A and B are shown apart, each in its own frame.
Chain A
Amino acid sequence: MTTNDRRDFLLSTGAGMAATWLAPHLELLHPLLGRKTSGGEGRVKLALIGAGRQGRAILGELATIPDCEVVAVCDNDESRLSSALRRATGAKGYAGAADLLAKEVSVSAVIIATPTHLHRAIVEQCLEAKKHVYCETPLAHTLEDLQAISAAARGAGVVAAAAFQGRANPVYGLARSFFKAGTLRELAHLSAQNHKKTSWRTAGSTPERDRELNWHLDPKVSLGLTGELGAHQFDVFHWFLGRHPVSVRARGDLRLHKDGREVPDTVQAQFTFDDGLVLDWSCTLANSLGGRHEEIAGAMGAIKLAWTHGWMFKEADAPTQGWEVYANRQQFHDEPGITLIADATKLAAQGKLQEGVGLPYTSLYYSLADFVAAVAGSHGAGSNGAGSKAPACSLADGARSSAVSVLASRALVERTEVAIDPKLLEGL
């Protein structure tokens, strides 16, 4: 967390997190347990703007999170809105965000899951109305929009969160604690991939609706793979390293889906950090092998993260740290991977180590529950923010990772190396 981040948080008490994850406890796997909630002040009243696939997934998770309720849903497509309202029993439906914000005065927080290029206007409206905001990522498709979002969040006096889920994911948090403790030692290489065989299209009821739904295939309003898929992975590295790359090169091609689209279905990008460390990222919609994961390789070991699971691979000469005694192992070809399990010591003592493999909640659940807890905490916080917590990923942090995606997309389009100006990122 940088100084700039703290400036942007309404509530900033994140210093205890590293210690928490170094000695994780089972109850901390539930994001709301052990934290102050809204209590007698009632549940956090939420609105969802954007009821597409992600919006509906969000509604499903919110229904299972204590201390919150969705009271309004907004989408300009009638069939999507009615489908969403079936999932959010009792909520009111709206076709426009402005109408919702004007009429739903009891709403304290808004979750924004519209197409990326529509985020800016809605974030600005919500912050202007003093609503807490959780915005899907990437936050925007242009640097101008990112700067506007950051400026609106700065000093808004509300919880402003970006939906980079890795930061609220306990497996990623545990891995980061090992990383921060220097377990891997000198860093050799970073890599990530997102491979899935899919057309990445949504089927609409009419050709016109097809075009609206597939906005992410329109290069005028979409960052393509580097933004919609890559940003989530880039943010993981930014969060682990506490810094951003200084340049990016990228290339892409249509390898499979030659259906008239202009956005490449296969992209490779290479990011370079100020010390020469390189992050290689590969993304394709033509093949599924390996799925999605991130890897950090160092002189004493490597960490592999795959959303719900994480593993550590230790070099033969790596010092024993003790915790490996309790570890589960999974074989990857001829490499034994030590499964990263939050609260491994306690589970092992109870003979339940196997029960700790894999997350007990979805990654989306953790991210949303983290936001709800931050909002609930802010309701009971003092004027100086005492007793409250910042969201796992602020809008400012989210804007920086989104900006890296914008520049990677520029490198792809221009087929040239693009510098990532640290001052640009600091200003977000």
Chain B
Amino acid sequence: MLHRAACFAMGTRFELVLEGRDDVHGRAAAEEALERIVECDGRLSRFRSDSLVSRINREAGSAWVALDAETFELLERCARACGATEGAFDLCLGTAMDRLRAGQGLLAPAGAFALDPARRAVRFTAPGTALDLGAVAKGFALDRAAELLRAAGVERALLHGGTSSVLALGAPPDRPEGWPVGLGPEFAERVVSLRDRALSISAVRGSRGPGGDAAARGQVHVLDPREGRRLRAQGRAAVLAASAEEAEIASTALLVLVDRGARPAEALDAGFPSARLECIVVADRPVAGRGSGLSGGAALEIVHHVPPASR
């Protein structure tokens, strides 16, 4: 019997459907998974005063801030992705996002942080740095929820955060190839099958504005972290990966790389050597570098010149 549950976290709605041993077990597992997501929000949100990320933003400019192992390892992975994508994905966007939300002019962000594995701590190395984990937190939380479901004996589940990050455990009983997930009209109504796989979709223009502001629907809400400007290219990216975290990081980075005219497939190969990425980009401009169907790394399918009006 499938059990459905939902919660509100990270400024959006998380929802899951799962098959438990029975109704009581299914409900308990669903609640625990959602509580895990809420707990991740409590740790990673920069809009909650008592979150760990808020603590980092307050204190890491002047002192090392000790972290739990899970958060430290997340920051390590994000720092690696930042380096591999030449800053197309970067956590140091807190100050820039604040200015964007406030309608202020954007500045080239100079944020940077250092990680010390020995003391498992973070410290900012540039003035004005503030972390924003908005481009990875949903994926991270979905991965943690999935771990919990597996430990509870759940073998079939589909979870999503705000419909833009999706994670599948197993497959539905009647569809062994996986859970069918529609990508929407921007991707020509394509349907992908997810089985022990995650999907993330990023768009230059959001269904909400910066910081989840519903009133700012349709505004460009993705910044190029290196240059501190809104993206000029129009488009969307869908990425399938082994984990929701990797899919979310890669889909955000893809948009920025396309906007820069960089070679996204090669950058993602370097950033995610074992993630088995499958990427679909819908863009209004040609994309440089390797394209669809090449083996040995990220499979990138590019759909050029989709008119902005169709999105």
For residues 30 through 84 of chain A, which have their beta carbon under 8 Å from a beta carbon of chain B?
57, 59-61, 63-66, 79, 83
For residues 1 through 60 of chain B, which have their beta carbon under 8 Å from a beta carbon of chain A?
20-21, 23-25, 27-29, 31-32, 39, 42-43, 48-50, 52, 54-55, 58
Kindly list chain A residues whose C-beta atoms are within 8 Å of the C-beta of B20. 203
Choose one: B31, B39, B50; the contact of A360 (CB below 8 Å).
Answer: B50
CB distance from B137 to the nearest CB of A (A): 16
B107 within 8 A of A: no
The complex places the Cα of A340 from the Cα of B120 at a distance, in Å, of 34
Among A86-94, A224-232, A266-274, A393-401, the one that faces the other chain is: A86-94
Interface of B is mostly: helix
For residues 364 through 389 of chain A, which have their beta carbon under 8 Å from a beta carbon of chain B?
365
Choose one: A66, A86, A203; the contact of B32 (CB below 8 Å).
Answer: A203
CB distance from A98 to the nearest CB of B (A): 27
- Is B69's CB under 8 angstroms from A87's CB? yes
Chain B interface bracket (under 10, 10 to 19, 20 to 34, 35 or more): 20 to 34
B286 within 8 A of A: no
For residues 171 through 226 of chain A, which have their beta carbon under 8 Å from a beta carbon of chain B?
198-199, 201-207, 210
Q: Tell me the number of A-to-B contacts counted with CB atoms below 8 Å.
A: 81
Interface centre among A199, A206, A355 (most CB of B within 10 A): A199
- Least CB separation from B24: chain A residue: A259
The complex places the Cα of A341 from the Cα of B43 at a distance, in Å, of 22
- Is B49's CB under 8 angstroms from A201's CB? no
- Is A60's CB under 8 angstroms from B55's CB? no
- Is A360's CB under 8 angstroms from B55's CB? yes
A359 within 8 A of B: yes
The complex places the Cα of A308 from the Cα of B45 at a distance, in Å, of 15
The complex places the Cα of A207 from the Cα of B28 at a distance, in Å, of 12
- Is B28's CB under 8 angstroms from A199's CB? yes
- Least CB separation from B66: chain A residue: A64
B309 within 8 A of A: no
**Given known contacts A63-B69, A64-B55, is B50 in contact with A201 (CB within 8 Å)?**
no
A362 within 8 A of B: yes
Kindly list chain A residues whose C-beta atoms are within 8 Å of the C-beta of B152. 203-205
- Least CB separation from A363: chain B residue: B50
- Least CB separation from A361: chain B residue: B50
- Is B153's CB under 8 angstroms from A206's CB? yes
The complex places the Cα of A360 from the Cα of B46 at a distance, in Å, of 11
- Is B69's CB under 8 angstroms from A201's CB? no
- Is A87's CB under 8 angstroms from B28's CB? no
What are 28 A-to-B residue pairs whose CB atoms are below 8 Å? A60-B43, A63-B67, A63-B68, A79-B151, A86-B69, A86-B70, A87-B68, A89-B120, A199-B24, A199-B27, A199-B28, A202-B28, A203-B25, A203-B32, A203-B153, A203-B154, A204-B25, A205-B153, A206-B153, A260-B24, A308-B50, A360-B49, A360-B50, A360-B54, A360-B58, A361-B50, A363-B50, A365-B50
16 other A-B residue contacts (CB within 8 Å) besides A89-B120, A205-B151: A61-B68, A63-B68, A64-B52, A64-B55, A64-B65, A64-B67, A199-B28, A202-B32, A203-B28, A203-B153, A205-B152, A210-B28, A260-B24, A358-B48, A359-B49, A361-B50
Ranked nearest first, the 4 interchain pairs of A and B with the lowest CB-CB distance are A358-B49, A203-B29, A201-B28, A203-B152
